[in-house]
Structure 1
Amino acid sequence: MATIRFHDALRLAAQALVRLELPPEPAVRLVRDLYGRLRFAVDCAQDDYPLQAREQLLAAQLALGAYATSNEVLFHDSFSYPAKFFTQQNWLRTMVSMGCNEDGEPLPDVPVLLLDRLVTGHDWLQPSHTQGKHPHRLVFFGLKGGVGRSTALCMVAWGLARQGKRVLLVDFDLESPGLSGLILPSERVVEFGVMDWLVEDAVGQGDSVLSAMVSVSPLGETTQGAVRVAAAMGAQESDYLAKLARAYADVPSEQGPQRLGVRLRRMVEALEAREQPDVVLIDSRAGLHDLAAAAITSLADTALLFATDSEQSWQGYRQLFSHWQRRLDVVSDVRERLAFVRALTPKSNRESGVKRFQRKAYELFAETLYDAIPQGSVDADTEYFHPTESDESAPHFPILVDWDERFQEFDPALRPEQGGATDAQVDATFGALIEWVTRRIDADGKHPEEVTYEHC
C-alpha cells in the first residue's frame, strides 16, 4: 500500500464522500486534527444513520493510513453536548482540489465542510472585517523584508499629513520592531507599545495602557496634518522577549477564546476612538504569519502587497492566494481589498520590466482569486469578478515605487537641510503610491456599485 502524505489525505477523504452512496442529508463533514489526521462527522445520532453507510465511512476513514484519526466516525453519541460541536462557527466550507485525470485534464473541486484544528493560521481563513464607520485602514505587507515596505509607509504617512490629514501609524511587526526607530527619536518614544497592550489585555488591563501608547512623530511637524505612532515596543523595555512569547495566545472571554485577529481589532478600534485619525497605516509583520493574517483579513480596508519580480515573491503569493482560493467566501471578501505594489522598480529597461510584472500579476490573480469565466455563452444574469489585464483600478494592476539608492539607508525624520530628501525627491519615488492611496481614501465612502472594473 502506498504511503499517504498530508497533501493526499484530504483529497482522498473528499473523493470517498463523492464515490460512496451516502444519504444526502445530513451531509458528512470532516474534522482534521493538529497533526493532519482526519475523521468523518455526521450531525445526527448514530442509530439514525444507515448501518451500511456507517461501515462505508469507517472503511474510507481507516484507508487514510497514518492520517486516520481513529476507528470511530463522529455522531451525536460521541459528545456530551453535540450541538456545541456541530454548530460552532469554525466549520468552514472548503474547496478540495481533485487534481487531474489520466489525460491531464483538471477535475472539478469538491466542496466539504471542514473543521480544521490549527496551531496557527486561523485568521487567514476567517475574515472578520470591521463593519461600520471607521477611518480608512491600510496595511503594508510583504512576504519578505528588504523591499522598502516600512520606508514607503513612512513616506505615505508624510504625503497624507502634507494634505492636512491626521495619520495614525501602528506597528504590527512585533518580531522585528523598527518603525519607531525610523520616525521617532528615542526621547519621543512613550511608555507602552502594542506588545504591552497584548499582554495587559490578556489579564483584563488593556485599557490602562492606551493613554501612553501613542507618540508624536517629527515627520509631521512640517505639514498641515500630524503623524502619530503606536510603536511595537515602549520606552525602556527590558522584558520584550518574555512578552513576545505570550503575545499570540488566545484570551478567554464570555463568548469563548478570543484569537489574535479579534484582539488586535479591539486594540485598533480603541486607539481610533482616542486619536480620531483620518487614516490608519499598519506596518504588518512580513511573511505568512498570524500577525499578517490578522492585519489583512480582519483590519485592512486596503492591503498593499509589496513584491519584486522574483520567483520568491511569485511563489509566496501563489501559496497564499491558493490557500484563500479553497474558500470562496474568503476570496470574495478579501480580493477587492488587495493592491499590488511593484517595489524597487529598476530604472533600466523600465517599460518592459513593468509590463512583464503586470502580466505575471494578472495571471496570478486570474488563476487564483478572479472568477473563472466559462468558455462559450455566458449567463447574462451572472456577474463575474474578472477585471481585464489593463484595468488600472484592478487589484493586480501594479502601483510603482521606483528603486532609488537615496532611500536605501534613509532617515525619514531628517529635513532636507540636514541631508534628508526634498519633497520633489520623495514625490519622484513615492508619488504614484501617495496619489493612489489618496484616491483610495477619497473613494472610501462610495457605494460598491460606484466602483467599477473593466471586465473580460
Structure 2
Amino acid sequence: MSTFDQILPITHEILAAHHSKIAQLDWLIVNRDLNGRVRFIVPEPIKKDEARRGEVEAVYQMLAEQLGPHCYPPEAGILYEANSEFARQGTTHYVLGEFDRVWFVDRLATESNWACITPETRGATRVVFFSIKGGVGRSTALAASAWSLAQSGKRVLVLDLDLESPGLSSALLPPERQPKYGITDWLVEDLVGNAEVVLGNMVATSNLSHDGEIHVVPAHGIEHGEYIAKLGRVWMPKLKEDGTREKWSARLERLLQSLEARICPDIILIDSRSGIDEIASACIADIGANLILLFALEGEQTWNGYRMLFEQWLRAGVTQKVRERLQVVGAVVPDFNSVDYLVGLREHSYEVFSDTLYDNIEPAAPDTVGPTKPGDPKTWRVGTLVEGWNFDEADERGPHHPWAVNWHRSFAGLRSLQGRLAVIDAQEVQAVFGSLIDGISCAVEARQTL
C-alpha cells in the first residue's frame, strides 16, 4: 500500500511510462488536495474528444491502482478546466520532472508556501532573522544588530513577526514606550477595512539609539487584549469587494510598504516565526527579503530541518531565486572549544548546501573570481563564479560559512535585554555579535552600490 511520500515518485514513474500520450496534451495538472488525494485536471476540449479522453482515463486508472487511497476513484479523478493558470492560482505548484507542461499542484491549509519566491525588494534592505527551532538567541541578535546599526547612523525599522511567540519589542522598548497596537491588530482590522485606524499607533521609537533611529513595530500593543482570538485570524485571506482573495502574506506586504513610506528606513530587520510550516514561509518567500539569516546550532535537528527546506526548493525548481539571499549564522557559539565547534558547524552546513543548493561543479579558480574585498558587490553572492554557483567549504564568501554569534554570560538568561542594551558599549557588542553585524552592514552597502 502506498503512502504520502510515494505519491510524487509513483506519479512521475507512470507519466514517464506514457510520455508520448502526455506530450500530446496542451497541459496537465496533477492536483493533490488538502487530504493528500490526487486527481488530474486537463484541458476542457479533451472531454469531448473520445479517443484522447480515453487515453487520459487509462493513465489515471493506472495511477489510481498504484496510489490506492491517495487517489480519487477513477470516475471522480479527472476534472476539466479551460485555463491552467486559473487552476493553479493561489497554490504551491511546480513543473513535474522533465515534463514542461505538466504541473504538480499542492493545495495547502494556508495560502503561503515555500515554493513561490517573490523577487527581492528594491526599497530599504529587508533582513529576515530565521531559525528552524526557537531558543537560539535570534531575537537577541536582532536587537543587538538594530542597536549597532543605529549607532552608525542608520534609520532602522524592526518588526516582530514571530507572532506566536512575541516579545522582541521588550528588548528594544521600555514599558512606557510600547505602542497601543501591533501587527496582529493591523492584520485583523485589515480584514474588515479598518487598518488605517491602528496604523498610526503601532510604531514606537526606541530610546537606545543615538546617531540613528530604531523604529519598532511589535506583535501586539501595550494591552494585548484578546490576543489568542486575534492570532487565529491573522493568517486569513482578505475577501475583496470584487470577489477576489488576497492571501495574508500579500496583506503583510501592503503593511510593510505603508510602514516604509511613513518611516523611510535604511534597513528593515524582521524577526520571523521559527519552523518550516507554511506560515513561516511568508517571511522567507513572500515579502521580498534581500538577506535571509539562517540561525543554526550544531546538531542533527538543525541540519535535518534545513535539508528538508532546501530539498523542497530543489523539487520546486526555485533554488536560483532564493539561494543567493541566504546566510548561515552560527548561533550562541560556546566560549569553550569554539574553533572546533565552528568547524563542525561549517562542515555540516557545507554538506547540506552542496547536496541541495550549490551547482554540481568545481568552483572557479581564485584568479578568475575578481576582487575579494568584504562588501564588494562583485563578490557578495552574485556573478562571481564563471561556470555556476558553488563555493569551497573554506570559502568565507559562501552562504554555508557561518557568521558567528558568540555566547556571552552578560547576555545569557537576561530578565531585561532592554536594560542591558541601555548600558552596553560598542566594544562589547562587537565581541559577541561582530561577525553578524559586519556581514549585515556589508550586505547593505553592497546593495546601495549596485
TM-score > 0.5, shorter chain as reference: yes
**Partner residue in 1 for 2:94:** 93
Residue type of the partner of 1:166?
Answer: R
Give the drift of 1:290: 3.7
Runs of 4+ deviating beyond 6 Å:
108-111
CA distance in structure 2 between the partners assigned to 1:46 and 1:65 by the alignment: 24
Given the alignment of the two structures, is residue 139 of structure 1 paired with residue 128 of structure 2, yes or no? yes
**Partner residue in 1 for 2:418:** 413
Given the alignment of the two structures, is residue 184 of structure 1 paired with residue 173 of structure 2, yes or no? yes
Is contact 1:36–1:67 with CA below 8 Å preserved after alignment? yes
SS of the residue corresponding to residue 31 of structure 1 reads: strand
Is contact 1:32–1:117 with CA below 8 Å preserved after alignment? yes
| Distance change in 2, residues 1:424/1:385 (3 Å) | same
SS of the residue corresponding to residue 123 of structure 1 reads: coil
Give the drift of 1:54: 2.6
**Partner residue in 2 for 1:432:** 435
**Partner residue in 2 for 1:100:** none
Is contact 1:29–1:112 with CA below 8 Å preserved after alignment? yes
Deviates more, 1:429-438 or 1:25-34: 25-34
Is contact 2:39–2:79 with CA below 8 Å preserved after alignment? no
CA distance in structure 1 between the partners assigned to 2:139 and 2:54 by the alignment: 60
Is contact 1:91–1:115 with CA below 8 Å preserved after alignment? yes
Q: 2:71 aligns with which of 63, 68, 72?
A: 68
Is contact 1:144–1:286 with CA below 8 Å preserved after alignment? yes
**Partner residue in 2 for 1:331:** 319
Given the alignment of the two structures, is residue 267 of structure 1 paired with residue 255 of structure 2, yes or no? yes
Given the alignment of the two structures, is residue 57 of structure 1 paired with residue 59 of structure 2, yes or no? yes
Residue type of the partner of 1:444?
Answer: R
Q: 1:307 aligns with which of 296, 309, 312?
A: 296
Residue type of the partner of 1:398?
Answer: P
Given the alignment of the two structures, is residue 340 of structure 1 paired with residue 328 of structure 2, yes or no? yes
Is contact 2:158–2:216 with CA below 8 Å preserved after alignment? yes
Give the drift of 1:73: 4.5
Give the drift of 1:90: 3.7
Sequence identity (%): 36
| Distance change in 2, residues 1:291/1:34 (3 Å) | closer
Equivalent residues in 2 for 1:201-240, closer than 5 Å? 201-220=190-209, 223-240=210-227
Q: 2:444 aligns with which of 429, 441, 444?
A: 441
Is contact 1:138–1:282 with CA below 8 Å preserved after alignment? yes
Q: 2:359 aligns with which of 353, 365, 371?
A: 371
**TM-score (norm. length: structure 1):** 0.86
CA distance in structure 2 between the partners assigned to 1:95 and 1:319 by the alignment: 19
SS of the residue corresponding to residue 153 of structure 2 reads: coil
**Partner residue in 1 for 2:377:** none
Is contact 1:161–1:227 with CA below 8 Å preserved after alignment? yes
Name the count of aligned residue pairs: 420
Is contact 1:32–1:38 with CA below 8 Å preserved after alignment? yes
Give the drift of 1:92: 2.3
- Unaligned residue ranges in structure 1 (runs of 5+): 97-107, 375-380, 448-456
Give the drift of 1:110: 10
Residue deviations 1:14-48 (CA, integer Å, cap 9, x gap) = 21100124141324320111111111222242233
Q: 1:19 aligns with which of 12, 17, 20?
A: 17
Give the drift of 1:347: 2.3
**Partner residue in 2 for 1:452:** none
* RMSD of aligned alpha carbons: 2.5
Is contact 2:150–2:211 with CA below 8 Å preserved after alignment? yes
Residue type of the partner of 1:62?
Answer: A
